[in-house]
Structure 1
Amino acid sequence: MNSQKILFGFMPATLIWGYIAIAIFMAGDGFELAFLSKYITNMGFSQEQATFVFTVYAFAAAIAAWSSGVIAEIITPQKAMFTGFAIWVIFHILFMTLGIGLHSYPLIVIFYGLRGFGYPLFIYSFIILLIHNLPASKISTAMGWFWAAYSIGLGTIGGLLPGFTNTSIGEHGTLWLALIWVAVGGLLALFTLRKVKISEDKANLSTSEKLHELTKAITILFTNKYIFMSALIRIINTIPLFGVAIIMPWFLEGDPKHNIAGLGFSNEEWQQIWALFLTITIFTNILWGIMGDHIGWLKQVRWVGCFCGIFSCLSFYYVPIYFGHNYYAAMIPAVLLGITVAAFVPMTAVFTTLEPNHQGAAVSIYNLSASLSQSVAAIIAGLVIGIWGVSGVLWTYAALYVFAAILTYFIKVEQPKITKLAKN
């Protein structure tokens, strides 16, 4: 590790701007998350077409997330971050001018989908930069701050600000505003991280050796059944998170084109509810990260994440149905899901403990699973909503939590601290 000033007991001074850049970048990236589905249907496209746009985007993001670690080590993290930044900016401009601007559904799908390669390459390459500049004993702390920066950007700023800008400059203007935020975050990282040093070990590997290690990020799914089951649990983990972002604007605000009356909520109210949920996860991620070490990783995932998650998921339908247009009552599901969805935090430790000799490949599978979650959420919403409506989508998500809870009983993982306490 390079000799450099350390802030807050763990953070290299040269990297502090990277955290700030991640927060700003992800704020811009998250502006459209809670309203784009309804914006597309308001243009005259169907709900199924809107969900397909998210599906394509999510698959692109999954590929980028899975490959970002290797790419960052091959071309350096800084160059990989710049590549992700450039991809996001170029295809967002094309998405806005040729896709949205011309009301062309094929171009919306193509350019928004290609934009999906941008953000994972940008943010996950920064993780490689952290690993190269921090001792192993500080990586966990650094990653806690990384996800906090991610959540502050995507959740607090990205979720709350559009509720106001949609009213003042319109949803179209908010989509252009996102470009400015991403540009600021990307350029900030570009200029402040350019001189940060990295290890040359991976860069010196031959191309065949790098490709061989990359293949392990797929083969361990078939050679380690526990990794496979863990991947399914991680996919299910955030399906409701992405799913409610798609379906709740239709449910709460209404969608006359598809015979959904709505409950009288405004887009600003929904944006604030969404921002509350994402803000809560900043604190619950820290809470459940600590608690998991004491009560058991999978035990926490099973009871808090899965079984309690069933109730938090269904509350998104039944609480608004019971209370109607009650802004404060509608916050209850957001609070509940913010508590339960974060209980899956120990899954990162589960993955790396299950593959101690190939932790990089295990993390790649974790990233791939996390990214696929958005795709699966969109696919389910698109297939189910036309048949059983919003309630059917949420019941499907709840059923997946039951399945995930069952899987936790079959995964055998030795948690060091719990094992040590048991022996004593």
Structure 2
Amino acid sequence: MPRSIPVIAAIQKTGFPTNLAIGFLGVIIFVIGDGIEAVWITNYFSSDDVGFSVAQGSTIVSFYGVVVALAAFLSGALCDALGCRAVMLTGLISFLIFDVLFIVVGLPSHSMPLVLLFYGLRGFGYPMFAYGYLTWTMMVTPPERQSSVSGWFWFAFSLGMQFLGSYFSSFFLPAIGHIATLWAGWILAAIGGIITMLFLRRHPSAKQTAGISIAKSVGSAVSVLWRYPKVSIGGIVKIINLSGQYGMQVYYVVYLHKVFGMPESQAILEFSVFGLVAIIGDVFWGVAGDRIGWRNTLQWAATPITFASLVYMYFIPIIAGPNFFLIAIGTAGIGIGLSAHVPTTPLLVAHAHGETGNALAILNLGAGLGAFVGPAIVTMLLGDENTAQGYFLPAMALAFIYAVSFLLCFALKLPGNARILHSAPALSDKPEEGAGHTTA
């Protein structure tokens, strides 16, 4: 037998679904292209090339976040009605169209309304494509492996969006400039999208629907918020999860560049450290969540680590200047803390009593709203963009929302005080003898 068989077996022990590997590869390539500008776009908007203020740039990114939130919700809500493949194709096509309009029409116009419109509408892309794929993987994965598979999804997402996107940008920008880098992103998104869509043609389940109308599918996804209130709480935790990341992306490159004089490419490279740690953490915490408990991981690892790291990130340049290594310690801490939120996915699915599509709609909505809430916090609280004091309030606000998340996690105990669930029957809110493990 080939030696590759033991290697495959070792990989599978980490929870990696080898039968879905090609689809994950396509997602990685797509989100590299879709998010290639994520950590530097606000700085670019406020440069002489475009001419907006930091506050205007943050407003544009906040509107983008609103569209992302809507698209993220629809990515889960519409899978039951249209099938996951149709949802993903919609996201792919919308990104390719509106990204071209953003580059060709919006940026050359120097018009705030046009840039706001086209950059915002490209926000339909990655949520419907990537989160549509996440929804499908959760639908075909047994509960006892959902945290691990979710971890591998967020590994793929973080590898593309947060590590490789930032890493490539740090080299592309000095070499070919901002516009050419955006075009490179468009090409990568197209290639990744095509790979995943061709992969899904081999899986009939990706286009299967529940035989219900779009209105009923969306209505059911909305009503799960009051039918199962813990899903609502989990959705808030997910919003907070990504608010810190997106808020930091809006202000931190500008903070390092304008206030402390760190070169833009070096400031962007700090986010590659975050992304590298996050992709490792996504796998680690996915497996750990299935072993030590989904809620335990969120409450006792994810929230305190992220809180402490965000506070550290603000103060360390003030104390030590633009020291790459010391700042990288903070970005690595954020990578650890944010990746420890991976078990949020199976935890919400469990509290939705088997309504996987509806749970993922709320989870995806929370992830999307994080792309709005984080930048909105920065927009509302940002002071003088040329002084460290001007960034104090948004930096501290982004940190302290994780203290709120810590408290909310007390409400997310599973039935029977279980750590995880081992099967997929409808849940009861009454403790069941022997359900899961014995400690939440």
Q: TM-score range by the shorter chain?
A: 0.7 to 0.9
Single out whichever of 383-392 and 177-186 deviates more from structure 2: 383-392
Equivalent residue for 1:284, pick from 274, 281, 286: 281
Partner residue, 2:301: 304
Partner residue, 1:157: 164
Partner residue, 2:153: 146
Structure 2 counterpart of 1:281, which letter?
A
- Output the CA distance in 2 between the equivalents of 1:412 and 1:191: 40
Distance 1:82-1:407 versus aligned 2 partners, 3 A rule: closer
Partner residue, 1:20: 25
Distance 1:34-1:201 versus aligned 2 partners, 3 A rule: closer
Single out whichever of 149-158 and 28-37 deviates more from structure 2: 149-158
Partner residue, 1:353: 350
Contact 1:132 1:198 in 2 (8 A): no
Structure 1 counterpart of 2:370, which letter?
S
- Output the CA distance in 2 between the equivalents of 1:199 and 1:274: 34
- Output the CA distance in 1 between the equivalents of 2:374 and 2:58: 9
Distance 1:338-1:328 versus aligned 2 partners, 3 A rule: same
Query: Could you list the per-position Cα deviations for residues 203-226 of structure 1 after superposition, in whole angstroms to 9, with x for gaps in the alignment?
Result: 5x242xx53343122122233332
Q: Report matched runs for 1:156-195 at 5 Å.
A: 156-195=163-202
User: Residue 243 in 1 paired to residue 240 in 2?
Assistant: no
Contact 1:73 1:128 in 2 (8 A): no
RMSD between aligned residues: 2.4
Partner residue, 2:209: 202
Which secondary structure state, in structure 1, belongs to the residue aligned with residue 51 of structure 2?
A: coil
Contact 2:151 2:287 in 1 (8 A): no
- Output the CA distance in 2 between the equivalents of 1:267 and 1:148: 26
Partner residue, 2:396: 395
Distance 1:135-1:12 versus aligned 2 partners, 3 A rule: farther
Contact 1:133 1:197 in 2 (8 A): no
**Identical aligned pairs, as a percentage?**
28
- Output the CA distance in 1 between the equivalents of 2:206 and 2:39: 39
Structure 1 counterpart of 2:27, which letter?
I
Equivalent residue for 2:236, pick from 221, 232, 244: 232
Cα distance, 1:90 vs structure 2: 0.8
Structure 2 counterpart of 1:16, which letter?
A
Partner residue, 1:217: 221
Equivalent residue for 1:330, pick from 327, 332, 350: 327
Cα distance, 1:134 vs structure 2: 5.9
Which secondary structure state, in structure 1, belongs to the residue aligned with residue 340 of structure 2?
A: helix
Contact 2:309 2:333 in 1 (8 A): yes
Distance 1:384-1:98 versus aligned 2 partners, 3 A rule: same
- Output the CA distance in 1 between the equivalents of 2:350 and 2:85: 29
Partner residue, 1:52: 59
- Output the CA distance in 2 between the equivalents of 1:274 and 1:405: 25
Distance 1:64-1:223 versus aligned 2 partners, 3 A rule: same
- Output the CA distance in 1 between the equivalents of 2:27 and 2:397: 33
Structure 1 counterpart of 2:21, which letter?
I
Q: Which runs of 5+ in 2 are unaligned?
A: 1-7, 421-434
TM-score using structure 2 length = 0.85
- Output the CA distance in 1 between the equivalents of 2:395 and 2:360: 29
Single out whichever of 275-284 and 227-236 deviates more from structure 2: 227-236
TM-score using structure 1 length = 0.88
Partner residue, 1:71: 78
- Output the CA distance in 1 between the equivalents of 2:120 and 2:272: 24
Distance 1:403-1:49 versus aligned 2 partners, 3 A rule: same
